[in-house]
Amino acid sequence: MSEQELGITTSKEHETGEWYAELVQKAGLADYAPMGGFIVTRPRGYAIWERLQNHLDTWFKDTGVRNAYFPMFIPESYLEKEKDVVEGFDPEVAWVTHGGYEELEERLAVRPTSESIITPFLAQWIRSHRDLPMRVNQWCSVVRWEATETKPFFRTKEFLWQEGHTAHRDAEDASEETMTRLEQYERLYEDVLAMPALTGRKPDHDKFPGADTTTTVETLMPDGKSVQAATSHYLGTSFAEAYDVTYVDEDEEEQLAHTTSWGLSWRALGALFMTHSDDQGLVLPPTLAPTQVVIVPIWNEDSKDAVLEYAADVAAELDEAGVRVELDDRDNRNPGFKYNEHELNGVPLRIEIGPYEVEDDELTLVHRPDGEEATVDREGAVETVEDHLDTIYAKLYAEAEQTLEGEIREAESREEILGTIGQHGGYVKCGWCGDEACEVPIKDAIAAEIVMVPLAEDEEPIHDECAICGDDAEETAYFAKTY
β-partners of residue 158 are 143
What pLDDT sits at residue 458? Answer: 87
Indicate the residue among 361, 389, 417 that finishes a domain: 389
358 φ, ψ to 5°? -65, -45
Residue 283: inside a domain, yes or no? no
How many structural domains are present in the chain? 3
Distance CA 31, CA 199 (A): 32
What single DSSP character describes residue 437?
G
Contacts of residue 454, Cβ cutoff 8 Å, sequence gap at least 6:
200, 201, 475, 476
Residue 412: inside a domain, yes or no? yes
Give the Å distances, CA to CA, from 463 to 199, 467, 468.
20, 8, 12
Residue 103: inside a domain, yes or no? yes
**Do 37 and 120 have their domain in common?**
yes
Contacts of residue 29, Cβ cutoff 8 Å, sequence gap at least 6:
23, 41, 42, 44, 45, 48, 152, 153, 269, 273, 282
**Do 383 and 431 have their domain in common?**
no
CATH of the domain at 345: 3.40.50.800
**Do 23 and 82 have their domain in common?**
yes
Indicate the residue among 327, 355, 389 that finishes a domain: 389
If DSSP codes are grouped into helix, strand and coil, which group holds residue 259? strand
If DSSP codes are grouped into helix, strand and coil, which group holds residue 204? helix
Residue 52: inside a domain, yes or no? yes
Parent domain of 475 = 408-481
Instruction: Give the H/E segment covering residue 52.
Output: helix 43-62
**Do 324 and 426 have their domain in common?**
no
What pLDDT sits at residue 147? Answer: 63
Residue 284: inside a domain, yes or no? no
**Do 311 and 353 have their domain in common?**
yes
Residue 467: inside a domain, yes or no? yes
What pLDDT sits at residue 149? Answer: 79
> What does the pLDDT look like over 62-108, one tens digit per residue?
999 999 999 999 999 998 887 776 676 778 999 999 999 999 999 99
**Do 109 and 205 have their domain in common?**
yes
Residue 251: inside a domain, yes or no? yes
CATH of the domain at 412: 3.30.110.30
Look up residue 85 and give its amino acid.
V
CB atoms within 10 A of CB 149: 10
**Do 41 and 181 have their domain in common?**
yes
**Do 439 and 369 have their domain in common?**
no
Contacts of residue 474, Cβ cutoff 8 Å, sequence gap at least 6:
432, 433, 434, 461
Look up residue 296 and give its amino acid.
V
Give the Å distances, CA to CA, from 31 to 36, 114, 252, 437, 446.
12, 27, 57, 40, 31
Residue 401: inside a domain, yes or no? no
**Do 229 and 91 have their domain in common?**
yes
Contacts of residue 460, Cβ cutoff 8 Å, sequence gap at least 6:
none
What pLDDT sits at residue 148? Answer: 72
**Do 216 and 113 have their domain in common?**
yes
Which residues of the chain have a pLDDT value below 50? 1-4
**Do 213 and 101 have their domain in common?**
yes
CATH of the domain at 25: 3.30.930.10
**Do 126 and 189 have their domain in common?**
yes
Indicate the residue among 359, 389, 419 that finishes a domain: 389
